[in-house]
Amino acid sequence: MFDTLTLASLPADDAGLRTSIRALIARHIAAVPLERRARSWQGFDAGFSRALGEAGFLGLTLPTAYGGGGRGAFERFVVVEELLSAGAPVAAHWIADRQSAPLILNFGTEEQRQTYIPRICRGEALFCIGMSEPGSGSDLASVRTRADRTADGGWVVNGQKIWTTNAMHSDYMIALLRTSGTAADRNAGLSQLIIDLKAPGVSVRPIVDLTGDAHFAEVFFENVQLGADALIGIEGQGWAQVVAELAFERSGPERIYSSVVLLDAWVRHLQEVGRSDAAPLVGRLTAELATLRAMSIACTARLVAGDSPVVEASIVKDRGTTFEQDLPEAIADDLAAHPDEAISDTLYRTLLYVTHIAPSFSLRGGTREILRGIIARGMGLR
């Protein structure tokens, strides 16, 4: 079962990518406190994203003709691993780089590619994903927000999206909208449109989360007029396009490293106080991380081989988020099992930040239960 998912090696880093991205990260995050770095891919810094673009680290796998790096998925793995393990603030470009640009490359017109991809690669065009709605979470095929054709061949959009990460900072949204029929028609009649968030009729209301951050938002559309060129891909094929897009979203190493800044901080604490009774727990978490990393590289190898490893990506994501969620729980127990040992403010704040945000790890990008359903279908159960 899933026989192609086997141990794969990262090719030698001939281009010295790791060294150069490390140097760039070190310059930018030296002054960023630990608990901010624990934001991982929710940390927003548009300046840092532009610096990455300037240095050629955005759009790494995209063709050079569109300003991309013309490299492979393994190289992207290396760069993403460095960014995430350092806790670099990557949110500004994350979605555009990970899924919007590949989506535009795969399904967009030549004009759309020329318009958006070079700017994404420079870190100048920021994107968000408008899938979820108040009535459509896991049941994404039930979306109601509509785009209707206008007399001049353009579109008019009405409705609402919610939980849209970074909508308030983004230039564009790629939205999944109903272009024909009603919510009862399910995945027939859905299309993807690129919405300029500065267009009249769009309003964005940030939503504050339980840690005090506001990384996602509600987005309202009231008679938003778009040109004919807003449609991306084929009208009515939005569902199939979204499924392909989610394979990109789910297969990356960000599904194992969300809590790694905390893991490092805790290990440093243990080393500083010279405590060895936590070795079994350190060992368990290290073994899990090493195995997950190899699983994620194995999944990357499937992308390199030209597969769309949808089920494999779900396997890595579900196991990865389980690890990311277990980590703060286990560390909290270890630390509080030593009530006479002082811990620093930053470690404490980092621990509590990760503890509080951790439930979101198995919600964003598809919930645990939904992913396990995908895996079960992949096993031949239905």
- Residues lying near ligand FAD in the complex (CB under 6 A): 128-132, 137-138, 163-165, 216, 360, 363-364, 366-367, 369-370
At 142, the amino acid letter reads S
Binding site for another protein (CB under 8 A): 1-2, 5-10, 81, 85, 257, 260, 263-264, 267, 270-271, 276, 278-284, 286-295, 297-298, 312, 315, 318-319, 369, 371-373, 375-376, 378-382
In the complex with ligand FAD, the residue whose CB is nearer, 255 or 302, is 255
Distance CA 184, CA 26 (A): 51
Cβ at position 367, least distance to ligand FAD in Å: 3
Let me know if 249 is a catalytic residue: yes
Cβ at position 364, least distance to ligand FAD in Å: 4
Selection from ligand FAD, another protein, none that 283 binds (CB < 5 to 8 A by kind) is another protein
Cβ at position 129, least distance to ligand FAD in Å: 4
Task: Determine how β-strand 172-178 pairs with β-strand 127-130.
Answer: parallel
Report whether 136 contacts 143 (CB < 8 A): yes
Cβ at position 146, least distance to ligand FAD in Å: 16
Report whether 2 contacts 316 (CB < 8 A): no
Other beta carbons within 10 Å of 145: 19
Interacting residues of 177 by C-beta distance below 8 A, sequence separation 6+ = 143, 145, 146, 147, 157, 159, 190, 191, 192, 193, 238
* Catalytic residue of the set 35, 82, 133, 249: 249
Distance CA 125, CA 115 (A): 10
Residue 193 DSSP SS3:
strand
Distance CA 5, CA 296 (A): 10
Residue nearest to ligand FAD (CB): 137
Report whether 203 contacts 168 (CB < 8 A): no
Query: Which helix H or strand E contains 222, and what residues bound it?
Result: strand 216-226
- In terms of Cα–Cα distance, which of 168, 166, 177 is closest to 96? 166
In the complex with ligand FAD, the residue whose CB is nearer, 194 or 335, is 194
In the complex with ligand FAD, the residue whose CB is nearer, 132 or 350, is 132
Cβ at position 69, least distance to another protein in Å: 22
Say what angle helices 46-54 and 17-29 make with each other, to 10 degrees.
150
Selection from ligand FAD, another protein, none that 5 binds (CB < 5 to 8 A by kind) is another protein
In the complex with ligand FAD, the residue whose CB is nearer, 92 or 297, is 92
In the complex with ligand FAD, the residue whose CB is nearer, 77 or 94, is 94
Catalytic residues: 249
